[in-house]
Amino acid sequence: MRNLSRGCYSGRNMQGIFSAWGRILTGYSPLLSIEITRECPLRCPGCYAYGDDHLGGDLTLREVRDFKGQALVDGVMALVDRHRPLHVSIVGGEPLVRYRELNTILPLLAARRIHVQLVTSAVREIPGEWRGIPRLSIVVSIDGLQPEHDARRTPATYDRVLRHIAGHSLTVHCTVTRQQVNRPGYIEEFLRFWSARGEIDKIWFSLYTPQLGEVSAERLKPIDRERVIADLLALRLRYPKLTVPQGAIEAYAEPPRSPDECVFARTTTTISADLTTKITPCQFGGAPDCENCGCLASAAFTAVARHQIFGIIPVGSIFTGSMKVGDRLRRMRPEPAPA
Ligand code: SF4
Ligand code: SF4
Protein backbone atom coordinates (compact mmCIF):
# COMPACT_ATOMS: atom_id res chain seq x y z
CA MET A 1 0.00 0.00 0.00
CA ARG A 2 2.68 2.46 0.96
CA ASN A 3 4.89 2.28 -2.10
CA LEU A 4 2.24 2.65 -4.76
CA SER A 5 2.24 5.49 -7.19
CA ARG A 6 -0.06 5.96 -10.12
CA GLY A 7 1.04 3.94 -13.12
CA CYS A 8 4.00 2.28 -11.36
CA TYR A 9 3.38 -0.90 -9.39
CA SER A 10 6.18 -3.10 -8.11
CA GLY A 11 5.93 -6.91 -8.09
CA ARG A 12 5.70 -6.86 -4.29
CA ASN A 13 2.72 -4.55 -4.40
CA MET A 14 0.99 -6.68 -7.03
CA GLN A 15 1.61 -9.73 -4.80
CA GLY A 16 -0.07 -7.84 -1.93
CA ILE A 17 -3.03 -7.00 -4.16
CA PHE A 18 -3.41 -10.64 -5.24
CA SER A 19 -3.26 -11.88 -1.61
CA ALA A 20 -5.92 -9.35 -0.63
CA TRP A 21 -7.99 -10.29 -3.65
CA GLY A 22 -7.90 -13.95 -2.57
CA ARG A 23 -9.24 -13.02 0.88
CA ILE A 24 -12.02 -10.88 -0.63
CA LEU A 25 -13.07 -13.67 -3.01
CA THR A 26 -13.47 -16.06 -0.07
CA GLY A 27 -15.56 -13.56 1.88
CA TYR A 28 -12.97 -12.23 4.35
CA SER A 29 -11.76 -8.66 4.89
CA PRO A 30 -8.01 -8.55 4.30
CA LEU A 31 -7.60 -5.76 6.86
CA LEU A 32 -8.60 -5.79 10.53
CA SER A 33 -8.34 -2.74 12.76
CA ILE A 34 -8.72 -3.17 16.53
CA GLU A 35 -9.25 -0.45 19.13
CA ILE A 36 -7.28 -2.37 21.72
CA THR A 37 -8.35 -0.24 24.68
CA ARG A 38 -10.87 2.44 25.52
CA GLU A 39 -8.27 4.31 27.58
CA CYS A 40 -6.09 7.21 26.54
CA PRO A 41 -4.41 9.68 28.89
CA LEU A 42 -4.65 12.43 26.24
CA ARG A 43 -7.59 14.63 25.28
CA CYS A 44 -6.69 15.82 21.77
CA PRO A 45 -9.13 18.30 20.21
CA GLY A 46 -10.73 16.80 17.11
CA CYS A 47 -10.03 13.16 18.11
CA TYR A 48 -12.61 11.12 16.20
CA ALA A 49 -12.22 8.04 18.43
CA TYR A 50 -13.87 9.84 21.34
CA GLY A 51 -16.54 11.57 19.26
CA ASP A 52 -20.14 11.12 20.47
CA ASP A 53 -21.18 9.23 17.32
CA HIS A 54 -18.01 7.19 16.79
CA LEU A 55 -19.70 3.95 17.94
CA GLY A 56 -23.09 4.79 16.48
CA GLY A 57 -24.50 7.04 19.23
CA ASP A 58 -25.46 4.80 22.20
CA LEU A 59 -22.07 4.59 23.89
CA THR A 60 -18.78 6.42 23.49
CA LEU A 61 -15.39 4.72 23.36
CA ARG A 62 -14.70 5.72 26.97
CA GLU A 63 -17.89 3.91 28.05
CA VAL A 64 -17.57 0.55 26.29
CA ARG A 65 -16.36 -2.50 28.14
CA ASP A 66 -12.71 -3.27 27.51
CA PHE A 67 -10.33 -6.07 28.40
CA LYS A 68 -7.01 -6.50 30.16
CA GLY A 69 -4.49 -9.27 30.80
CA GLN A 70 -5.00 -12.75 29.37
CA ALA A 71 -8.63 -11.95 28.48
CA LEU A 72 -7.38 -9.27 26.07
CA VAL A 73 -4.71 -11.53 24.59
CA ASP A 74 -7.23 -14.33 24.05
CA GLY A 75 -9.90 -11.97 22.74
CA VAL A 76 -7.61 -10.39 20.15
CA MET A 77 -6.29 -13.74 18.95
CA ALA A 78 -9.86 -15.09 18.69
CA LEU A 79 -10.79 -12.07 16.52
CA VAL A 80 -7.78 -12.72 14.32
CA ASP A 81 -8.72 -16.40 13.99
CA ARG A 82 -12.22 -15.43 13.00
CA HIS A 83 -11.36 -12.71 10.48
CA ARG A 84 -8.12 -14.23 9.09
CA PRO A 85 -6.65 -10.81 8.09
CA LEU A 86 -3.44 -10.23 6.17
CA HIS A 87 -2.86 -6.98 8.04
CA VAL A 88 -3.88 -5.85 11.53
CA SER A 89 -3.91 -2.23 12.72
CA ILE A 90 -3.74 -1.76 16.46
CA VAL A 91 -5.14 1.59 17.51
CA GLY A 92 -6.86 2.97 20.59
CA GLY A 93 -7.42 4.75 22.76
CA GLU A 94 -3.70 4.56 23.37
CA PRO A 95 -2.26 1.09 22.67
CA LEU A 96 0.71 1.68 25.01
CA VAL A 97 -1.76 1.60 27.93
CA ARG A 98 -1.84 -2.17 27.21
CA TYR A 99 1.87 -2.62 26.49
CA ARG A 100 2.13 -5.70 28.76
CA GLU A 101 -0.55 -7.54 26.79
CA LEU A 102 0.99 -6.32 23.52
CA ASN A 103 4.31 -7.87 24.60
CA THR A 104 2.47 -11.18 24.14
CA ILE A 105 0.10 -10.29 21.29
CA LEU A 106 2.68 -8.81 18.88
CA PRO A 107 4.96 -11.90 18.77
CA LEU A 108 1.87 -14.14 18.37
CA LEU A 109 0.75 -12.12 15.33
CA ALA A 110 4.28 -12.15 13.92
CA ALA A 111 4.39 -15.95 14.26
CA ARG A 112 1.28 -16.07 12.06
CA ARG A 113 3.08 -13.93 9.46
CA ILE A 114 0.53 -11.14 9.85
CA HIS A 115 1.66 -7.58 9.13
CA VAL A 116 0.89 -5.32 12.06
CA GLN A 117 0.75 -1.55 12.26
CA LEU A 118 0.56 -0.05 15.74
CA VAL A 119 -0.43 3.60 16.02
CA THR A 120 0.61 5.45 19.17
CA SER A 121 1.12 8.93 20.58
CA ALA A 122 4.31 7.67 22.35
CA VAL A 123 2.96 8.95 25.65
CA ARG A 124 5.17 6.37 27.36
CA GLU A 125 8.34 4.58 26.34
CA ILE A 126 7.92 2.12 23.45
CA PRO A 127 9.13 -1.23 24.80
CA GLY A 128 12.62 -2.17 23.60
CA GLU A 129 11.56 -5.80 22.99
CA TRP A 130 9.29 -4.65 20.13
CA ARG A 131 12.35 -3.68 18.05
CA GLY A 132 13.08 -7.09 16.58
CA ILE A 133 9.49 -8.20 15.91
CA PRO A 134 9.14 -9.04 12.21
CA ARG A 135 6.43 -7.39 10.10
CA LEU A 136 5.67 -4.83 12.84
CA SER A 137 5.53 -1.14 11.93
CA ILE A 138 5.11 1.46 14.62
CA VAL A 139 3.53 4.75 13.66
CA VAL A 140 3.82 7.73 15.98
CA SER A 141 1.15 10.41 15.62
CA ILE A 142 2.55 13.92 15.82
CA ASP A 143 0.19 16.91 15.58
CA GLY A 144 2.47 19.43 13.86
CA LEU A 145 5.51 21.28 15.15
CA GLN A 146 6.33 21.42 18.83
CA PRO A 147 4.23 24.46 19.94
CA GLU A 148 1.03 23.20 18.31
CA HIS A 149 1.68 19.53 19.12
CA ASP A 150 2.46 20.17 22.78
CA ALA A 151 -0.63 22.35 23.17
CA ARG A 152 -2.85 19.59 21.72
CA ARG A 153 -1.14 16.45 23.02
CA THR A 154 0.19 17.12 26.53
CA PRO A 155 1.43 14.92 28.27
CA ALA A 156 2.86 13.36 25.04
CA THR A 157 5.03 16.45 24.43
CA TYR A 158 7.88 16.59 21.86
CA ASP A 159 10.47 16.19 24.66
CA ARG A 160 8.83 13.04 25.94
CA VAL A 161 8.11 11.61 22.48
CA LEU A 162 11.78 12.00 21.52
CA ARG A 163 12.84 10.14 24.67
CA HIS A 164 10.21 7.43 24.23
CA ILE A 165 11.09 6.57 20.61
CA ALA A 166 14.89 6.47 21.07
CA GLY A 167 16.48 3.39 19.49
CA HIS A 168 13.42 2.40 17.40
CA SER A 169 12.75 2.62 13.65
CA LEU A 170 9.42 4.32 13.12
CA THR A 171 7.04 6.20 10.91
CA VAL A 172 5.86 9.66 11.91
CA HIS A 173 2.31 10.47 10.91
CA CYS A 174 0.87 13.97 10.96
CA THR A 175 -2.76 14.87 10.32
CA VAL A 176 -2.83 18.26 8.65
CA THR A 177 -5.37 20.62 10.21
CA ARG A 178 -6.39 24.15 9.35
CA GLN A 179 -4.28 25.56 12.19
CA GLN A 180 -1.16 24.20 10.46
CA VAL A 181 -1.88 25.47 6.96
CA ASN A 182 -2.36 29.03 8.18
CA ARG A 183 1.43 29.39 8.34
CA PRO A 184 3.31 29.17 4.97
CA GLY A 185 6.16 26.65 5.03
CA TYR A 186 4.75 24.74 8.01
CA ILE A 187 4.71 21.32 6.32
CA GLU A 188 8.27 21.75 5.08
CA GLU A 189 9.46 22.76 8.56
CA PHE A 190 7.83 19.63 9.95
CA LEU A 191 9.52 17.50 7.28
CA ARG A 192 12.90 19.11 7.96
CA PHE A 193 12.67 18.43 11.69
CA TRP A 194 11.59 14.79 11.43
CA SER A 195 13.73 13.90 8.38
CA ALA A 196 16.81 14.76 10.45
CA ARG A 197 15.92 12.22 13.18
CA GLY A 198 17.71 8.88 12.82
CA GLU A 199 14.79 6.92 14.36
CA ILE A 200 12.43 8.03 11.61
CA ASP A 201 12.25 5.90 8.44
CA LYS A 202 9.11 7.37 6.94
CA ILE A 203 6.94 10.45 7.24
CA TRP A 204 3.26 10.32 6.32
CA PHE A 205 0.56 12.97 6.14
CA SER A 206 -3.19 12.63 6.29
CA LEU A 207 -5.60 15.53 6.00
CA TYR A 208 -8.15 16.14 8.74
CA THR A 209 -11.40 14.29 7.93
CA PRO A 210 -14.53 15.99 9.33
CA GLN A 211 -17.90 14.47 10.05
CA LEU A 212 -20.78 15.57 7.78
CA GLY A 213 -21.81 19.12 8.69
CA GLU A 214 -18.92 19.55 11.15
CA VAL A 215 -17.79 23.09 11.87
CA SER A 216 -14.44 23.03 13.63
CA ALA A 217 -11.08 24.78 13.83
CA GLU A 218 -9.43 21.67 12.35
CA ARG A 219 -11.51 21.42 9.18
CA LEU A 220 -9.64 22.44 6.00
CA LYS A 221 -11.24 24.80 3.51
CA PRO A 222 -11.11 23.79 -0.18
CA ILE A 223 -8.34 26.32 -0.79
CA ASP A 224 -6.31 24.89 2.13
CA ARG A 225 -6.68 21.43 0.71
CA GLU A 226 -5.46 22.51 -2.73
CA ARG A 227 -2.42 24.16 -1.18
CA VAL A 228 -1.53 21.12 0.95
CA ILE A 229 -1.83 18.79 -2.04
CA ALA A 230 0.43 21.04 -4.15
CA ASP A 231 2.96 21.29 -1.28
CA LEU A 232 3.05 17.53 -0.72
CA LEU A 233 3.51 16.80 -4.44
CA ALA A 234 6.48 19.18 -4.54
CA LEU A 235 7.99 18.20 -1.17
CA ARG A 236 7.98 14.45 -1.82
CA LEU A 237 10.62 15.05 -4.49
CA ARG A 238 12.93 16.76 -1.98
CA TYR A 239 12.34 14.77 1.22
CA PRO A 240 12.86 11.04 0.59
CA LYS A 241 11.37 10.10 3.97
CA LEU A 242 8.04 11.54 2.80
CA THR A 243 6.85 8.24 1.35
CA VAL A 244 3.24 9.11 0.63
CA PRO A 245 2.84 7.93 -2.99
CA GLN A 246 2.05 10.45 -5.69
CA GLY A 247 -1.20 8.63 -6.56
CA ALA A 248 -2.40 8.86 -2.96
CA ILE A 249 -1.65 12.59 -2.76
CA GLU A 250 -3.54 13.07 -6.01
CA ALA A 251 -6.45 11.05 -4.59
CA TYR A 252 -6.79 13.66 -1.80
CA ALA A 253 -8.03 16.00 -4.54
CA GLU A 254 -10.84 13.58 -5.44
CA PRO A 255 -11.69 11.24 -2.55
CA PRO A 256 -14.42 8.57 -2.78
CA ARG A 257 -17.85 10.20 -2.71
CA SER A 258 -19.32 7.72 -0.21
CA PRO A 259 -18.32 4.70 1.89
CA ASP A 260 -19.64 2.46 -0.91
CA GLU A 261 -16.98 3.88 -3.22
CA CYS A 262 -14.23 3.56 -0.62
CA VAL A 263 -12.18 0.42 -1.22
CA PHE A 264 -10.38 0.90 2.10
CA ALA A 265 -13.64 1.01 4.08
CA ARG A 266 -14.98 -2.01 2.20
CA THR A 267 -11.90 -4.14 2.76
CA THR A 268 -11.35 -3.25 6.43
CA THR A 269 -13.20 -4.53 9.48
CA THR A 270 -12.85 -2.18 12.46
CA ILE A 271 -13.68 -3.47 15.93
CA SER A 272 -13.90 -1.43 19.12
CA ALA A 273 -12.42 -2.11 22.56
CA ASP A 274 -15.22 -4.48 23.60
CA LEU A 275 -13.87 -6.72 20.80
CA THR A 276 -17.42 -7.01 19.46
CA THR A 277 -18.79 -3.66 18.26
CA LYS A 278 -18.10 -3.01 14.59
CA ILE A 279 -17.27 0.59 13.74
CA THR A 280 -18.91 1.69 10.52
CA PRO A 281 -18.69 2.85 7.80
CA CYS A 282 -14.92 3.09 8.39
CA GLN A 283 -12.49 3.70 11.24
CA PHE A 284 -13.89 7.22 11.76
CA GLY A 285 -17.33 5.92 12.71
CA GLY A 286 -20.36 8.21 12.83
CA ALA A 287 -21.15 9.94 9.51
CA PRO A 288 -17.78 10.87 8.00
CA ASP A 289 -17.65 13.43 5.22
CA CYS A 290 -16.16 11.25 2.47
CA GLU A 291 -15.92 14.11 -0.01
CA ASN A 292 -13.54 15.80 2.43
CA CYS A 293 -11.76 12.60 3.44
CA GLY A 294 -8.05 12.93 4.12
CA CYS A 295 -7.35 9.39 5.32
CA LEU A 296 -4.02 8.25 3.91
CA ALA A 297 -5.05 4.60 3.75
CA SER A 298 -8.24 5.43 1.88
CA ALA A 299 -6.29 7.64 -0.55
CA ALA A 300 -3.71 4.91 -1.17
CA PHE A 301 -6.45 2.34 -1.85
CA THR A 302 -8.26 4.82 -4.10
CA ALA A 303 -5.06 5.24 -6.10
CA VAL A 304 -4.83 1.45 -6.53
CA ALA A 305 -8.52 1.16 -7.46
CA ARG A 306 -8.14 3.85 -10.13
CA HIS A 307 -5.15 2.12 -11.65
CA GLN A 308 -6.01 0.40 -14.92
CA ILE A 309 -4.59 -3.03 -15.70
CA PHE A 310 -3.30 -3.07 -19.30
CA GLY A 311 -4.54 0.52 -19.45
CA ILE A 312 -8.19 -0.53 -19.74
CA ILE A 313 -9.51 -2.50 -16.72
CA PRO A 314 -9.77 -0.44 -13.51
CA VAL A 315 -8.59 -2.47 -10.50
CA GLY A 316 -11.57 -1.06 -8.57
CA SER A 317 -14.10 -2.80 -10.83
CA ILE A 318 -12.35 -6.17 -10.27
CA PHE A 319 -12.46 -5.61 -6.50
CA THR A 320 -16.15 -4.68 -6.63
CA GLY A 321 -17.03 -7.86 -8.55
CA SER A 322 -14.88 -9.94 -6.19
CA MET A 323 -16.58 -8.44 -3.14
CA LYS A 324 -19.97 -9.55 -4.47
CA VAL A 325 -18.67 -13.12 -4.85
CA GLY A 326 -17.12 -12.95 -1.36
CA ASP A 327 -20.34 -11.59 0.19
CA ARG A 328 -22.27 -14.56 -1.19
CA LEU A 329 -19.75 -17.02 0.26
CA ARG A 330 -19.74 -15.24 3.62
CA ARG A 331 -23.54 -15.48 3.87
CA MET A 332 -23.32 -19.24 3.25
CA ARG A 333 -20.82 -19.72 6.14
CA PRO A 334 -22.24 -20.44 9.63
CA GLU A 335 -21.86 -17.38 11.94
CA PRO A 336 -19.00 -18.06 14.39
CA ALA A 337 -19.50 -17.55 18.14
CA PRO A 338 -18.47 -14.09 19.44
CA ALA A 339 -14.85 -13.73 20.64
S1 SF4 B 1 -3.85 10.28 21.54
FE2 SF4 B 1 -5.09 9.53 19.85
S3 SF4 B 1 -6.76 8.38 20.83
FE4 SF4 B 1 -5.81 9.65 22.43
S5 SF4 B 1 -7.09 11.51 22.46
FE6 SF4 B 1 -5.33 11.89 21.12
S7 SF4 B 1 -6.06 11.39 19.04
FE8 SF4 B 1 -7.49 10.47 20.52
S1 SF4 C 1 -12.08 6.34 4.87
FE2 SF4 C 1 -12.72 8.34 4.06
S3 SF4 C 1 -13.69 7.90 2.06
FE4 SF4 C 1 -13.53 5.97 3.19
S5 SF4 C 1 -15.54 5.75 4.17
FE6 SF4 C 1 -14.15 6.74 5.64
S7 SF4 C 1 -14.44 8.95 5.33
FE8 SF4 C 1 -15.34 7.90 3.57
For 257-292, write each residue's pLDDT tens digit: 999 999 899 989 999 999 999 999 999 999 999 999
Q: Is the CB of 298 under 6 A from ligand 2?
A: yes
Q: Hey, which of 207, 208, 293, 306 would you mutate to test ligand 2's pocket, going by the most ligand atoms within 8 Å of its Cβ? A: 293
Answer whether 173's CB lies under 8 Å from 142's CB.
Answer: yes
β-partners of residue 175 are 206
Could you tell me the pLDDT band of residue 6, with boundaries at 50, 70 and 90?
very low
Question: Which one-letter amino acid corresponds to residue 196?
Answer: A
Of 307, 328, 206, 317, which is closest to residue 261 (Cα–Cα)?
A: 317
Q: Is the CB of 121 under 6 A from ligand 1?
A: yes
- Does residue 271 lie within any of the structural domains? yes
Answer whether 29's CB lies under 8 Å from 279's CB.
Answer: no
Q: Is the CB of 259 under 6 A from ligand 2?
A: yes
Of 171, 167, 147, which is closest to residue 159 (Cα–Cα)?
A: 147
* Domain count of the fold of the chain: 1
CATH code, domain with 40 = 3.20.20.70
Average pLDDT value for the chain: 89
Closest ligand to Cα 47: 1
Closest ligand to Cα 286: 2
Residue 249: is it exposed, middle or buried by C-beta count within 10 angstroms (0-12/13-18/19+)?
A: buried
β-partners of residue 34 are 90, 271
- Does residue 230 lie within any of the structural domains? yes
Closest ligand to Cα 264: 2
Give the residue numbers spanning the domain of 181.
31-331
- Does residue 20 lie within any of the structural domains? no
Residue 21 pLDDT exceeds 70: no
- Does residue 216 lie within any of the structural domains? yes
3-state secondary structure 124-150: CCCCHHHCCCCCEEEEEECCCCHHHHH
pTM over 0.85: yes
Pick the atom of ligand 2 nearest to 284's CA. 6
Q: How far apart are CA 328 and CA 339, in angstroms?
A: 23
- Does residue 9 lie within any of the structural domains? no
- Strand ranges, E, within the chain: 31-35, 87-91, 115-120, 136-141, 170-176, 200-207, 268-271, 308-309, 313-314
Q: What is the pLDDT of residue 18?
A: 62
- Does residue 13 lie within any of the structural domains? no
- Does residue 6 lie within any of the structural domains? no
CA of 324 to the centre of ligand 2 (A): 20
Residue 3 pLDDT exceeds 50: no
Residue 56 pLDDT exceeds 80: yes
What is the mean predicted confidence (pLDDT) over 124-136? 96
Q: Is the CB of 143 under 6 A from ligand 1?
A: no
The secondary structure of 9-24 as a DSSP string is: --HHHHHHHHHHHHHH
Contacts of 155 by beta carbon, 8 Å cutoff, 6+ apart: 41, 42, 123
Q: How far apart are CA 275 and CA 262, in angstroms?
A: 24
Q: pLDDT tens, 152-198?
A: 999 999 999 999 999 999 999 999 999 899 889 999 999 999 999 99
Q: Hey, which of 50, 52, 153, 173 would you mutate to test ligand 1's pocket, going by the most ligand atoms within 8 Å of its Cβ? A: 50
- Does residue 263 lie within any of the structural domains? yes
Q: Is the CB of 47 under 6 A from ligand 1?
A: yes
Q: What separation in angstroms does the CA of 76 have from each of 71, 90, 138?
A: 9, 10, 18
**Exposure class string for 218-243: b at 16+ Cβ within 10 A, else e:** bbbeeebbeebbebbeebbeebebbe
Residue 13 pLDDT exceeds 80: no
